[in-house]
Amino acid sequence: DEHTDATRVSLEDLAQRIIATGFEYLVTASHCVSLGMLSYADQQRISELVATAKIGVVTLPHTNLFLQGRDQQTATPRGLTAIKALREAGVLVAAGADNLQDPFNPIGRGDPLESAALLILTAHQLPQDAFDAVSCVARKVIGLGESGPVVGALADLMLTPSTSIREAIALSPPRTLVMHLGRITHIG
């Protein structure tokens, strides 16, 4: 769901249906904004259900920060899902950006490091956790294998002149090389 109405939590319905039908395939839910509007006890209860159903969740902070809460002039919600409760329940929570310079996000760039930075600022994540959400956890949520430097594997990587993950996120330095499936897609 992509709304702040706490009376309509479609993630709970999705989890119940998956459990009831025994659906065995990969399921990923995005946005899941209404979950973040519930009490912490309800977030925990639903997160346990989502974990049982083995649903992966992708939070999309760029779009949700831009769209959610427009009509609330005080105590404006951030429009993010309940990342803490989901992670505590064992749910894989990834992050990304789903709109690129369109009416839903006029400044969207699809930059994973920007997504990580927004998680740090808006979801109180530590740099390593935010980076994992846009890298290795994101791969797991969409059904891809482990990532990392492995001899003989096709390279999916980005090089940037940074001395740490925190620095790469904080400074957003230029990407000096980007490779996808072993092919160079950008040299900067």
User: Residues 79, 112: one domain?
Assistant: yes
Are 18 and 55 a contacting pair, CB within 8 Å?
yes
- 72 domain residue, yes or no: yes
Are 78 and 124 a contacting pair, CB within 8 Å?
no
Report the domain count for the chain.
Answer: 2
User: Residues 155, 90: one domain?
Assistant: no
Q: What is residue 6's predicted lDDT score, i.e. its pLDDT?
A: 86
Q: What is residue 137's predicted lDDT score, i.e. its pLDDT?
A: 96
- 4 domain residue, yes or no: no
User: Residues 187, 132: one domain?
Assistant: no
- 3 domain residue, yes or no: no
Q: What is residue 65's predicted lDDT score, i.e. its pLDDT?
A: 87
Per-residue pLDDT of the chain (188 residues; tens, 9 = 90+): 888 888 888 999 999 999 999 999 999 999 999 999 999 999 999 999 999 999 999 999 988 888 888 888 888 888 899 999 999 999 999 999 988 899 888 988 889 999 999 999 999 999 999 999 999 999 999 998 877 778 888 888 889 999 999 999 999 889 899 999 899 999 98
User: Residues 103, 187: one domain?
Assistant: no
User: Residues 82, 138: one domain?
Assistant: yes
List pLDDT tens digits, range 134-182: 999 999 999 988 777 788 888 888 899 999 999 999 998 898 999 998 9
Strand partners, 186: 178
User: Residues 107, 37: one domain?
Assistant: yes
Q: Report the run of H or E that residue 119 belongs to, with start and end.
A: helix 112-123
User: Residues 143, 156: one domain?
Assistant: no
User: Residues 45, 85: one domain?
Assistant: yes
Predicted TM-score of the model (pTM): 0.91
Q: Which domain holds residue 116?
A: 10-147
Within 39-149, strands assigned E span 55-59, 93-95
The DSSP 8-state label assigned to residue 154 in this structure reads P
CATH of the domain at 98: 3.20.20.140
User: Residues 70, 109: one domain?
Assistant: yes
User: Residues 167, 134: one domain?
Assistant: no
Q: Report the run of H or E that residue 178 belongs to, with start and end.
A: strand 177-180
Are 54 and 29 a contacting pair, CB within 8 Å?
no
User: Residues 76, 167: one domain?
Assistant: no
- 82 domain residue, yes or no: yes
User: Residues 142, 156: one domain?
Assistant: no
